[in-house]
Amino acid sequence: MIDVKQSCSKPGDARFHPGTGPHSLGSIAALLGTGTAAPELLIFGVAPLQTAGPQDVSFLDNKRYADLLAHTKAGAVILHPDFVGRLPTGTRPLTTAEPYVGWAKVAALFHPFAQPKPGIHPSAVIDPSASVGAGVEVGAGAVIGARVTIGAGSIIGPLAYIAEGVVVGEHCRIHAQVTLSHAVLGQRVVLYPGARIGQDGFGFAITAAGFTAVPQLGRVIIGDGAEIGANSCIDRGSAQDTIIGPGVHIDNLVQIGHNVNIGAHSVVVAQAGVSGSTHIGAGVMIAAQAGLTGHLHIGDNARIGAQSGVMADVPAGEEVLGAPAQNSRAFFREVVTLRKLAQAGRKSSRAGA
């Protein structure tokens, strides 16, 4: 039987997340660019405030959970200087202006991201004209087509399919069952399981007799450090390229149409869809289940709320909500007005009765 209480245990199950350590608190503090009064203290792992013990490091980023500080048993906590006074005796502060960034660094110290195990599985199929760089791992059943280039230190997961001519940069991670065609990837790109990159865009001409397919002659260009979530789809361009800028993070189950251009360090959350030829600026955030029609321009650092239906351009820095999407302040004013009208209607009905 499975003991469901295990769900309350500390993170980092060694079966799935091999760890390192222990690490001295002094070395952890140095990683964060801060100091500590107990540099020789050994820390063996990371854990949430609720379950951390004296040999663990924890963190506080969201002030909603500040009340947990007084009761934590953690040996050390990464937190903003404003909250140091709430720590119990014996718990050492590791102060930083960005606690969540600090937590990411420390968690990766104890549980590093997967590194390639150089070698090619016997069941993988690699075309003789493909170029596979030094230290690449190719998993079971993977297929690498003609004239493909795989950069040094990359991981090609089991059953991944990389079609002819594709370029994969150095230190990329292509997870299981990814299909990748008509694409050029930069360095440190991550494609999570089941991502479909480079398939035909949804392009056709309408005639009296039905639909006529339009050749999709572009590519997908993915910049350095971009990550594409599980089961997301990115169509190749029609006459232009589909471009995913450096550092872009795309969540699971996202659809990106042909010729879309997404600027650097933008975020697209689960189940969102972007229609063809839309240009998205840098630093944009598109929340879950938002839908964008085609040929739009979304300015830098714009924010698009969950389930928004965006049918017009969005200026830089604007925050929009609703369907059709509009400025968030106008949206909430309308919500309040409708609520007041509904309440007034109910009062009138009771008075008439």
Closest C-alpha among 36, 137, 164 to residue 95: 36
| Cα–Cα distance for residue pair 49/31, rounded to 1 Å | 20
CA atoms within 13 A on the CB side of 65: 12
| Residue 17 annotated among the catalytic residues of the structure | no
Closest C-alpha among 182, 172, 198, 177 to residue 256: 198
Contacts 24+ apart (CB under 8 A), 273-280: 276/201, 276/202, 276/203, 276/235, 276/238, 277/240
Query: Of 23, 111, 182, 258, which one is the catalytic site residue?
Result: 258
> What pairs with residue 42 in β-bridges?
24
CB 149 within 8 A of CB 164: no
Closest C-alpha among 193, 126, 248 to residue 220: 248
| CB burial readout 248-261, b (16+ within 10 A) else e | bbbbbbbbbbbbbb
Cite the active site residues.
258
